[in-house]
């Protein structure tokens, strides 16, 4: 029979095995998130298509038409914006849901045990499903426009996942503070709406003056989002500086985020 | 017979919570700054340690059904939370063998937007079931829940009864080796509650190990073969069910005392005490309030009349079991015809109560009226007093419940015929 030992300070060597054991729960959480989001709506998943399209056209109008910024490479401006909103969405949603995971799921977590990390993993899977829908819309748009991707396109899943992982890892890191100080739950949406303008989502990284480029690239999202756009836009150069900075963030944030998350999950129910 | 394996070993479990004290608000600017600096430098200054569990140890063998009882705040739920790994102990160690599931609540994670069917799968997964397991048990769950054709309706349109039935149905189809249950059987209507208890009895009979927290002593009696009584985070009793319940009852009751003052007691609605009230009660001749089976119970009551011409006054007394089961009622004769305003002492002696051993509490109702027909209840005090009846042999051992709570005496037995040959 399986033996479980409970001791203070979380000396739980089965944690990773447990996560595997509870993998179906992650899938169920994802399924719940996706189903609930579009329940009792007339067009259901259609909203996953319509909302980003509207968003893209608003941003194209502001940045491309009003501000007159230039696109990356030869891509039509709105395609470039669309290619930026998909990874940004993954990053920001991954960040928000994992940072709030202890609070939004407190009711369940106070009554049932499962490795708590299953919860943000489940949400992350739901974000993948949502973004894959946006991704197919982007492809349809590109075909209609006659702007076909090159072979680099095949690399998109790598950057797609990196955006999500980066956002989630940053969220895990913040989640432990969020349990103690709810101020973070107020700050995060605010930071994300500002962050969208400090990240090359709706404009090209080339619009940033050369001497500010390094400072600008410290933003962890810059590198992965730019790299994602690179695989959609066939004649865009790859910006190694920002990408390597983003990779460094990921390498630091994953272990740090998981460590803090695990430290918090052991007793957070006592304070939430 | 070989000894059964220990499946749950709890060693010296402690759990500390920090509670914050509200200190006096600082006055004046310098005081405020000082207080702010102090709380920043030492954020734990105004905090006190509270030990919800303070060294709990016991072992559970495979197949045991253990009832955990104790007053509110004794640490029962904290203990279950720690065993089910929801929160960590501050100190101590627990070893468990086999799959553990907990039913600390029914319907955990139910999403009201989802249909009954979707919720069964989601809730099942949250409780640790795999899809294959749920698939296999789905029909059984559906039948048990009696939700029927509404299974594909969003749960938000369910009646609250349907909701809890479905929720309990999922939870009760878990198949762990050790099951932790926290007072979840009291769901739905009486008929469904019985069904829930039967289901639990089935689970119990199948040889699973169960830890069961409840305030329902009757359910504990039905389900458990061992009781652990907690008080202030420590185990004060571990063993026989009836003995444990007896200890719990004497715990759960207010202290036995021989003087009761009712002037501050809040009465039930409808008793505005505008005509008369019971002021106090004294138990005479017995300081401990523990009686031998044939010992009379003597009481002295002080009452106050507030209007003239109340008329014939009498008492009604109800005797209750620990779990509020009514046991006896008695109607006293008219003790006086009172026509003046004032305070009076009244003596009541219960010469023969016929009560079996146990702890009881009593209600006193004062009534009055100029004629039997217009007699009305003037005051109602509950609990009026608490007392204990001992065994005939003078001990307070538990009394087999099958024997009932009252005993007959004055029963004539005689031989009616000679030995027919």
Helix boundaries (H) for chain A: 15-21, 23-37, 46-59, 77-99, 101-104, 106-109, 118-145, 156-180, 183-195, 213-217, 220-232, 240-265
End-to-end CA distance of chain A: 34
Same domain, B129 and B175: yes
User: From the CA of A7, how many Å to the nearest CA of chain B?
Assistant: 5
Over residues B24-46, the pLDDT tens digits come to: 666 777 777 777 777 677 766 66
| B357/B341 Cα distance (integer angstroms) | 41
A109 part of contact set with chain B, CB < 8 Å? yes
**Tokens 């004794």 label which residue?**
B74
Residue B265 and residue B211 in one domain: no
**DSSP E strands: which ranges in B2-90?**
6-20, 47-61, 65-69
Q: How far is A251 from chain B (nearest CA, A)?
A: 29
- Determine, for residues B108 and A108 on separate chains, whether the beta-carbon distance falls below 8 Å: yes
- Report the DSSP pairing between strands B342-350 and B297-305: antiparallel
CB distance from A113 to chain B under 8 Å?
yes
pLDDT tens track for B206-234: 889 999 998 888 888 888 999 999 988 88
Domain boundary among B219, B236, B252: B252
Residue B409 resides in a domain: no
Domain boundaries, chain A: 29-270
Domain span at residue B333 reads 259-403
* CB contacts, 8 Å: B125 with chain A: 24-25, 27-28
pLDDT over threshold 80, residue B349: yes
Domain final residue pick, B252, B276, B298: B252
**Same domain for B57 and B136?**
yes
How many CB atoms are located within 10 Å of the residue A154 CB?
A: 10
B95/A4 Cβ within 8 A = yes
What digits encode the pLDDT tens for the residues A154-181? Answer: 999 999 999 999 999 999 999 989 888 8
Q: Is B148 part of a structural domain of the chain?
A: yes
Do residue B86 and residue B193 come from a single domain?
A: yes
User: Stretch B322-349: mean pLDDT, rounded?
Assistant: 84
Q: Measured between CB atoms, does A112 come within 8 Å of chain B?
A: yes
What pLDDT is recorded for position A46? Answer: 78
**CB spacing of A24 vs B104 below 8 angstroms:** no
pLDDT in single tens digits along all 272 residues of chain A: 778 888 887 666 677 888 888 889 999 999 998 888 877 677 777 777 888 888 888 988 988 888 888 888 788 889 999 999 999 999 999 999 999 999 999 999 998 989 899 999 999 999 998 889 889 999 999 999 998 888 889 999 999 999 999 999 999 999 989 888 888 888 999 999 999 989 998 888 888 888 898 899 999 999 999 999 999 998 888 989 999 999 999 999 999 999 999 888 888 888 87
Q: What is the pLDDT of residue B412?
A: 85
Decide if B31 is inside a domain. Answer: no
Looking at the complex, does the CB of residue A41 fall below 8 Å from at least one CB of chain B?
no
Cβ neighbours of residue B415 closer than 8 Å, sequence gap 6 or more: none
Asked if B174 and B203 touch (Cβ cutoff 8 Å), the reply is no
What Rg do the C-alpha atoms of chain B give, in angstroms?
Answer: 28
Give residue B1's pLDDT.
45
Inter-CA distances, B36 with A133, B42, B400, Å: 52, 10, 62
Provide the domain count of chain B. Answer: 2
pLDDT band at B252 (very low <50, low <70, confident <90, very high): low
| Selected residue of B10, B103, B125 to mutate for chain A interface (largest A Cβ count, 10 A) | B125
Q: Residue A105's closest chain B neighbor by CA?
A: B109
On whether both B240 and B290 belong to a single domain, the answer is no
């Amino acid at each position: 029979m399986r033996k479980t030992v409970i001791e203070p300070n979380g000396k739980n060597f089965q944690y990773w095995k447990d996560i595997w054991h509870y993998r179906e729960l992650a899938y169920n959480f994802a399924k719940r998130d996706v189903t609930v989001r579009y329940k009792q709506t007339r067009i259901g998943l259609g909203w996953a298509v319509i909302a980003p399209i509207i968003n893209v056209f608003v941003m194209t109008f502001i940045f491309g038409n009003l501000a007159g910024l230039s696109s990356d490479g030869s891509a039509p401006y709105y395609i470039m914006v669309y290619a930026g909103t998909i990874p940004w969405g993954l990053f920001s949603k991954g960040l928000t849901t994992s940072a709030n995971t202890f609070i939004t799921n407190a009711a369940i977590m106070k009554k049932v045990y499962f490795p708590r990390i299953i919860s943000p993993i489940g949400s992350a899977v739901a974000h993948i499903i949502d973004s894959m829908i946006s991704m197919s819309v982007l492809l349809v748009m590109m075909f209609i426009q006659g702007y076909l991707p090159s072979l680099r396109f095949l690399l998109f899943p790598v950057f797609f996942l990196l955006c999500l992982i980066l956002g989630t890892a940053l969220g895990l890191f913040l989640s432990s503070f969020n349990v103690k100080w709810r101020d973070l739950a107020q700050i995060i949406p605010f930071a994300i709406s500002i962050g969208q303008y400090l990240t090359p989502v709706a404009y090209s990284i080339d619009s940033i003056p050369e001497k500010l480029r390094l400072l600008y690239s410290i933003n962890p999202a810059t590198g992965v989002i730019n790299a994602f756009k690179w695989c959609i836009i066939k004649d865009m150069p790859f910006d190694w500086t920002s990408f390597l900075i983003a990779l460094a963030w990921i390498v630091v944030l994953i272990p740090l985020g998981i460590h803090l998350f695990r430290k918090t999950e052991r007793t957070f129910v006592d304070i939430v | 017979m070989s000894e059964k394996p220990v499946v749950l070993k709890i060693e010296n479990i402690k759990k500390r919570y920090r509670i914050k004290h509200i200190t006096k608000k600082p006055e004046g600017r310098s005081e405020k700054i000082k207080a702010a600096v102090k709380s920043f430098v030492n954020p734990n200054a105004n905090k006190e340690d509270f030990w919800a569990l303070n060294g709990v140890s016991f072992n559970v063998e495979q197949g045991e059904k253990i009832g955990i009882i104790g007053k509110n705040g004794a640490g029962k739920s904290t203990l279950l939370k720690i065993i089910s790994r929801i929160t960590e102990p501050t100190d101590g160690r627990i070893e468990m063998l086999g799959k553990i599931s907990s039913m600390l609540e029914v319907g955990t994670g139910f999403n009201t937007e989802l249909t009954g069917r979707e919720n069964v799968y989601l809730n099942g997964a949250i409780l640790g079931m795999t899809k294959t397991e749920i698939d296999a048990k789905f029909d059984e769950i559906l039948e048990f829940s009696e939700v029927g054709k509404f299974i594909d309706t969003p749960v938000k349109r369910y009646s609250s009864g349907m909701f809890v039935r479905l929720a309990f149905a999922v939870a009760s189809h878990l198949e762990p080796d050790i099951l932790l249950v926290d007072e979840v059987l009291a769901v739905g209507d009486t008929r469904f509650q019985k069904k829930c208890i039967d289901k639990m009895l089935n689970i119990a009979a199948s040889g699973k190990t169960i830890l069961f927290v409840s305030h329902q002593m009757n359910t504990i009696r039905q389900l458990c073969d061992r009781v652990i009584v907690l008080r202030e985070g420590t185990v004060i009793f571990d063993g026989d069910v009836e003995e444990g319940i007896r200890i719990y009852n004497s715990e759960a009751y207010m202290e036995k005392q021989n003087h009761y003052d009712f002037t501050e007691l809040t009465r039930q609605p409808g008793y505005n005490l505008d005509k008369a009230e019971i002021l106090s009660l004294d138990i005479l001749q017995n300081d401990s309030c523990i009686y031998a089976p044939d010992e009379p119970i003597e009481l002295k009551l002080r009452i106050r009349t507030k209007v003239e011409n109340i008329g014939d006054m009498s008492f009604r007394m109800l005797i209750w079991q620990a779990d509020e089961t009514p046991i006896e009622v008695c109607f006293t004769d008219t003790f006086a015809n009172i026509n003046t305003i004032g305070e009076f002492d009244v003596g009541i002696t219960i010469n023969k109560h016929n009560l079996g051993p146990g702890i009881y509490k009593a209600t006193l109702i004062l009534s009055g009226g100029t004629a039997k027909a217009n007699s009305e209840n003037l005051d109602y005090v509950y609990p009026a007093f608490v007392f204990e009846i001992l065994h005939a042999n003078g001990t307070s051992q538990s009394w087999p419940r099958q024997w009932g709570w009252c005993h007959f005496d004055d029963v004539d037995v005689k031989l009616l015929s000679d030995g027919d040959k």
